[in-house]
């Protein structure tokens, strides 16, 4: 969980989103540009990161809980690969459907 928060923090500060929003003249309704926007976006980032960190923790622990007779049927890496492949497949299907003028796969 700590690594997830660290990674999100590093990526967030590299993009410098609140400053870029201010330079472009955009704002979030109800929040003034500058410090209030940064605090609001940081709070949202923390909530999303918590959900992601809990999911990754579950993926890391799930294989040990799924042992049957001393045999480990799943591994953490295998679960992450499966999730990544499924997400990529859904994105590609959605892109194909939108390209063919359909509304989309999930929407």
Tokens of 28: 């979030």
Q: Model pTM greater than 0.85?
A: no
Per-residue pLDDT of the chain (107 residues; tens, 9 = 90+): 888 889 888 888 878 888 888 888 888 888 888 888 888 988 999 999 999 899 888 888 877 777 766 676 667 777 788 888 998 998 898 888 878 776 666 65
State how far the Cα of 16 lies from the Cα of 1, in Å rounded to an integer. Answer: 23
| Number of Cβ atoms within 10 Å of the Cβ of 56 | 15
| CA distances (Å), origin 19, targets 32, 42, 46, 64, 86 | 12, 13, 19, 44, 35
């Amino acid at each position: 969980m700590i690594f997830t928060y660290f990674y999100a923090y590093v990526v967030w500060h590299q993009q410098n989103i609140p400053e870029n929003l201010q330079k472009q003249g955009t704002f979030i309704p109800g929040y003034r540009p500058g410090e209030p926007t940064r605090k609001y976006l940081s709070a949202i980032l923390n909530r999303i990161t918590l959900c992601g960190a809990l999911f990754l923790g579950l993926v890391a622990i799930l294989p040990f809980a799924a042992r049957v007779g001393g045999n480990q049927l799943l591994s953490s890496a295998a679960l992450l690969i499966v999730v990544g492949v499924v997400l990529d497949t859904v994105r590609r299907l959605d892109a194909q459907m939108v390209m063919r003028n359909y509304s989309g796969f999930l929407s």
